[in-house]
Amino acid sequence: MKALIVDDERLARAELRRLLNAHPQIDLIGEASNIVEAQQMIAGLVPELVFLDIQMPGGSGFDLLSNLDRVPKIIFTTAFDAYALRAFAVNALDYLLKPIETARLAHALQRVQPAAPIERSQDAAATQEEKLFIKDGERCWFVEIAKIVLFESEGNYTRVYFDQHRPLMLRSLNQLEQKLDARKFIRSSRQHIVNLDFVSRMTSNDTGGLNLLLTDGRQIDMSRRRAADFKQTHRF
C-alpha cells in the first residue's frame, strides 16, 4: 500500500518512518511538511494511505482534506487526545496519538488494509472507494461519492445530501460537476446535480423537461435543454 506522511515536524516524520520499517506492506513514497506540498504530492503520487498531522503552520490537516477532489485513506497523527476527533459524525476514522506506540500503529494499519478482492469491474471498484471530505462548522464527514444522493447549490456553497445528513461544503456546483463521473451524476439544472442511482422514476413534464423522483421522495426538475441533452447521451 503506497503511503505518504504529512507532518511539519521533521523528528515526528523520522520516527514514524522508522516505525513503518516493521511493516513491509506499507510502501512509503514521500513526505510533506505542509499542506501545499501535501496537496501536490497527493495529486502527483496518488497514495492509497496518508498519515496526516492535524495542526500545522499554514493550514490544518482538515484544510488539506477540504481541498482534495478525491480523498485517500487517512490515519491522523496528533499530539491531542481523542477529543480532537469527536467532530467526526460519520465513518470510523483512526488516529495515532503522539508519541506513536508500536502496537497502536499496527492496529491502525490492520484497519486500513484492503478487504479480500471481489469480482467486479475496475470502474465499479473505483467508484465505490472514492470519497469526499466535507467540513461544516465543527462536524466533518468522509463520504463515499457513490452514496451521495444530491448536490444542491446555495451560492458559493453546495449542500450535500447523503444518509440523513445535509452538510454544506465550500465548493460551487460548477467545481463539483467538473470532477464527478458524468455517467453517474447528471446536472439537472443550475441548482442540482443528481446521482442516477437514486432516481426511482423519470417522467416528462409539460415544459418539455423531465421530473426526477428520487428514492427519498424528493422531486427534482430537469430543464428542457438539459433533458434533451440527457436523452441523447443516456438513450432515454
Question: What are the extents of the domains in the chain?
Answer: 2-112, 148-234
Nearest to 210 by CA among 222, 198, 200: 222
Per-residue model confidence (pLDDT) at position 26: 97
Q: pTM above 0.75?
A: yes
Classify domain 148-234 at the CATH topology level: OB fold (Dihydrolipoamide Acetyltransferase, E2P) (2.40.50)
Classify domain 2-112 at the CATH topology level: Rossmann fold (3.40.50)
Same topology between domain 2-112 and domain 148-234: no
Tens of pLDDT along the chain (236 residues) come to 999 999 999 999 999 999 999 999 999 999 999 999 999 999 999 999 999 998 898 999 999 998 888 889 999 998 887 656 666 655 656 889 999 999 999 999 998 876 554 444 444 333 445 889 998 988 889 899 999 999 999 988 999 999 999 999 999 999 999 989 999 999 999 999 999 999 999 999 988 899 999 999 999 999 899 999 898 887 65
Tell me how many degrees the CA angle 202-208-210 measures, rounded to the nearest 5.
Answer: 20
Q: Give the torsion through C-alpha atoms of 125, 136, 171, 215, to 10 deg.
A: 50
